[in-house]
Amino acid sequence: MKFKIALSFLVAAVFGWLSPSVQAQDLGPGFTKVKDGIYVYAPDATTTTCSFVVTQEGVVMIDSCNSPLASRNMLAAIKKVTDKPIVFLIDTEIHGDHTGNHFIFSPPATIINHEGAGAGMRKEYDPKRAEALASKSAELREAVKGEKMIVPQIEYKDKMTINLGERTFELIYLKNVHSDADTAIWLPKERVLFASSAANVRRFINLRPTVVIPDVLASLKLMKSLNPEVVVTGHGPAGTTKIFDEYEGYYTLLLKRVGEMAAQGKSLDEIKKELKMPEYADWHDQERLGANIDAAYKSVKK
């Protein structure tokens, strides 16, 4: 009996180790297996999420993780699951917390994002980043070695389909939702959607001046219409389309309240002082409500 149990463990260990069905808990804290061969790495509730998808012809990564330490964890996790190379790395946005560690994966990975991604990255790149990280700890100094900006080798326009092995990845450009180039990645057979930072998980998002809330709402509607089973956003753990419902509710209410106050003749400053969103008091990053009101005010004043 004992021998049988030991043997089955051994068999499970050997096959588990070599196949894409390795359990996420074997990969370390923060890793979740959302479908066979599809792993999401969300270190915590708000840190940048990065993911990988194993195919018969190699690995496709989504985003390159925030800290180079997280990227090294990611690389180690991929190697535990498969010995196949990382063929593509698809960015969901251009910001450094998603793109700053391209150098850890490319080469061999070919990086892809929408038109404008490279220009946006060049504009935002901080040449002192590696130095700043290296000064934080010996571990980081090691992890950030070789740091340099690598912009996407491929920029698509509007839509792109990648067929790799048995899987299909549909890249969909989302306009004005977060950064200079935002991409949703849809796996139609698996019904898994990587939704970018058009939404996160119960968190106020830092809406930059280029973000247009009605465009965000349109993108949430579009993504929901794909009817995904699993939704992975740019930050936080994997979820479902409930994420889209929550953000749709939030932005709709925000627009309504800002619209009413503006109609009463209140200035942006007055609105920012008075407006509260108590329904969302438990969301992360409350200090970003001001930037959200800025964006809403711009939309209602149009």
Instruction: Give the shortest CB-178-to-Zn ion separation in angstroms.
Output: 6
> 3-state SS of the chain: helix, strand, coil percent to 5?
40, 20, 35
Strands 86-90 and 58-62: parallel
Residue type at 297 in one-letter notation: Y
Residue 196 vs 299, nearer CB to Zn ion:
196
Binding mask 190-219 for Zn ion (x = CB under 5 A): -------x----------------------
To the nearest whole angstrom, how small is the minimum distance from the Cβ of residue 93 to Zn ion?
A: 5
And the tokens for 195? 């939704």
Binding residues for Zn ion, rule CB under 5 A, total: 3
Whole-number minimum distance, CB 211 to Zn ion, in Å?
10
Selection from 64, 47, 51 nearest residue 100 by Cα = 64
User: Which residue type is seen at 131?
Assistant: E
Least distance (Å) between residue 98 CB and Zn ion: 6
Residue 261, Cα to own-chain centre: how many angstroms?
34
Between 205 and 300, CB nearer to Zn ion = 205
Report the residue number, 33 or 235, with the smaller CB distance to Zn ion. 235
Q: Name the residue nearer to Zn ion (CB basis): 81 or 223.
A: 223
In this structure, which amino acid lies at residue 162? I
Q: How far is the CB of 197 from Zn ion (least distance, A)?
A: 5
Of residues 179, 246, 244, 231, the one with CA closest to residue 206: 179
Q: Taking contact as CB under 5 A, which single stretch among the options 4-12, 72-80, 95-103, 255-263 is the one that binds Zn ion?
A: 95-103
Burial of 105 (0-12, 13-18, 19+ CB in 10 A): buried
Candidates 1-9, 108-116, 189-197, 225-233: pick the segment binding Zn ion (CB under 5 A): 189-197
Retrieve residue 163's tokens: 């067929």
Q: Which string of x and - marks every residue 75-94 that binds Zn ion (by CB under 5 A)? A: ------------------x-
Closer by beta carbon to Zn ion, 59 or else 112: 112
Please give the DSSP secondary-structure letter assigned to residue 61: E
- 8 Å CB contact between 197 and 210: no
**Is residue 235 close enough to count as binding Zn ion by CB under 5 A?**
no
- Is residue 95 within the footprint of Zn ion (CB under 5 A)? yes
Chain residues in the site for Zn ion (CB under 5 A): 93, 95, 197
